[in-house]
């Protein structure tokens, strides 16, 4: 965490239970500093995706407190949620591109949702296409793009609105190692512009490639401390690169 940086996300004793089942997340407490880079790791079923769903406001917790951008989002009125979501960029594991729209249209969507005038859309979308190396595929539909290309379109769509935090769920899960490296490079470039990055991955080889990244480990719905022992709370000032 960068010294003195404000927390953009704060979890306090958060629990999440789907229906009447067991808790998917239990007593999760941590905070994310603005402008920092985090990896969220853990085995399959550890609760990574559930935790991300709480952050990108697809789900409310069963208990506990979540603050984002300085406000309590657990009790946030539903009408205010769209405004918060526009400050969060999300890269889904399954991309969730709209299949009947071109790469260009998919990337332009957040700007249009945000009310940007049509005349001001073309330039940033083309810059973004160039940034992710897809200038030549602007009008291709998702079905005609490779997995890596779709992933890059999804990333471009997530960041074009300059979100304050980018949440990516297994963004390298469908791409080869070379493409994974390129995607991480994109995330680092965005992070340098001040966006907080949270990347959920079970690929531990990625972590050392971002030298200033911090790691949050989940196991069976609980945070795991740096020593590997279960911990209910990640130290607020974890050392950069600390992996559980």
Partner 1 sequence: MALFGRGSGNWLTSAAGRRLLPEGWLSGPMPWVIAIMMFLMVLAAAAGLALGFAARGLDSHMSSQITIQIVDADQVRRDAAADRIVTATAGLPGIASVRRIGDREIAELLRPWLGAGLAENDLPVPAMIDVAFLPGSTDGFAATETAVRAISPRARIDSHAQWLAPLAGLIASLRWLAGVLVLLMAAAAAFTVVLAARAALDTHQTTIEVMHHLGSSDAQIAQLFQRRIATDALFGGLVGLLLASFVIFTVGDRIARVGSDLIGSVELPLAAWGLLALLPLAGTLLAMVAARLTIVMALRRRL
Q: Kindly list the residues in this chain that would bind partner 1 in the complex (CB under 8 A).
A: 56-60, 78-79, 81-86, 90, 92, 96-101, 105, 108-110, 112-116, 118, 157, 161
**Which pair of tokens denotes residue 196?**
């907080």
Answer yes or no: are the C-beta atoms of 203 and 169 closer than 8 Å.
no
> Whose Cβ is closer to partner 1: residue 74's or residue 220's?
74
Query: Phi and psi dihedrals of 104, rounded to 5?
Result: -60, -50
Shortest reach from residue 177's CB to partner 1, in Å = 28
Integer Cα distance of 198 and 190 in angstroms: 12
> Whose Cβ is closer to partner 1: residue 45's or residue 82's?
82
Helix residue ranges, H only, the chain: 48-55, 81-85, 103-113, 122-131, 147-159, 177-192
Shortest reach from residue 112's CB to partner 1, in Å = 5
Shortest reach from residue 127's CB to partner 1, in Å = 19
Helix axes 147-159, 177-192, angle to 10 degrees: 10
> Whose Cβ is closer to partner 1: residue 47's or residue 161's?
161
> Whose Cβ is closer to partner 1: residue 97's or residue 234's?
97
Shortest reach from residue 6's CB to partner 1, in Å = 22
């Amino acid at each position: 965490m960068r010294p003195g940086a404000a927390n953009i996300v704060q979890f306090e004793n958060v629990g999440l239970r789907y229906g009447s089942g067991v808790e998917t997340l239990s007593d999760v407490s941590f905070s994310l500093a603005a402008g920092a880079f985090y990896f969220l790791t853990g085995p399959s079923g550890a609760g990574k995706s559930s935790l991300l769903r709480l952050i990108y406001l697809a789900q409310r917790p069963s208990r506990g407190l979540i603050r984002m951008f300085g406000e309590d989002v657990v009790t946030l009125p539903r009408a205010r949620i769209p405004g918060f979501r526009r400050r969060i960029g999300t890269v889904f594991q399954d991309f969730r591109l709209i299949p009947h729209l071109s790469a260009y249209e998919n990337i332009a969507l957040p700007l249009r949702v945000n009310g940007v005038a049509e005349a001001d859309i073309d330039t940033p979308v083309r810059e973004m296409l160039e940034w992710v190396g897809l200038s030549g595929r602007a009008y291709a539909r998702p079905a005609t793009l490779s997995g890596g290309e779709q992933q890059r379109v999804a990333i471009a769509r997530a960041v074009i609105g300059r979100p304050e935090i980018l949440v990516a769920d297994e963004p390298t899960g469908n791409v080869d190692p070379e493409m994974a490296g390129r995607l991480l490079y994109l995330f680092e470039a965005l992070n340098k512009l001040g966006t907080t990055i949270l990347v959920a991955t079970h690929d531990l080889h990625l972590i050392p490639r971002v030298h200033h990244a911090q790691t949050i480990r989940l196991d069976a719905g609980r945070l795991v401390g740096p020593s590997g022992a279960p911990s209910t709370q990640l130290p607020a000032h974890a050392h950069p690169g600390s992996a559980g």
